[in-house]
Amino acid sequence: MNISAASKAAGLPVKTVRYYADIKVVEAPSRSEAGYRTYDDVAVRKLVFVRRSRAFGFSIEGCRELLGLYQDQDRTSSEVKRIASKRLEEIEEKQRELQSLHDELAHLVTSCRGDHMPDCPIIDYLG
């Protein structure tokens, strides 16, 4: 499988697959005589794994760690759960931040009349 076939199979842009190879997250298992990266099903599965992990917001380093566990027969589920729980807490923290941001901004937007006059509680608040 050349890189474009692998990228389609994995659901990732070619550029990203190449990038993951460069930073050694998921390397191409081999190269053709002409130097083309060649992928197999195992590599594609790793790419999919990274795509899904990224979708959960894991950093590349986090993906590296998870990928290590994915391939580790001797892993314990507690290791995985610890990493996922950490990410879950980050998400919850972000949710709290966004919620207070939302409430505050929504309040300002509601109180602004939005007419042709310059008076504006939003600008007042910021200034």
Q: Report yes or no: 29 and 40 within 8 Å, Cβ to Cβ.
A: yes
Q: Report yes or no: 66 and 83 within 8 Å, Cβ to Cβ.
A: yes
Could you write out the DSSP letters of every residue in 28-73? Answer: -SEE-TTS-EE--HHHHHHHHHHHHHHHTT--HHHHHHHHHHHT-T
Q: Which is nearer to DNA, 36 or 125 (CB)?
A: 36
The residue range among 3-11, 13-21, 25-33, 104-112 that interacts with a second copy, by the rule CB under 8 A, is 104-112
Write down the number of H helices and E strands in the chain: 6, 2
Q: Does 14 bind a second copy (CB under 8 A)?
A: no
Q: In this structure, how many other beta carbons lie within 10 angstroms of the beta carbon of residue 126?
A: 8
- Tell the smallest beta-carbon distance from residue 105 to a second copy (Å): 5
- Which does residue 87 bind out of a second copy, DNA, none, counting CB within 5 to 8 angstroms by kind? a second copy
Q: Does 25 bind a second copy (CB under 8 A)?
A: no
Q: How many residues does the chain have?
A: 127
- Tell the smallest beta-carbon distance from residue 18 to DNA (Å): 5
Q: Which residue has the tokens 């290590």?
A: 68
Give the footprint of a second copy on this chain (CB under 8 A).
45, 48-49, 52-53, 55-57, 66, 69-70, 72-78, 80-82, 84-85, 87-88, 91-92, 94-95, 98-99, 101-102, 104-106, 108-109, 112-120, 122-123, 125-127
Give the footprint of DNA on this chain (CB under 7 A).
2-5, 13-16, 18-19, 28, 32-37, 54, 59-61
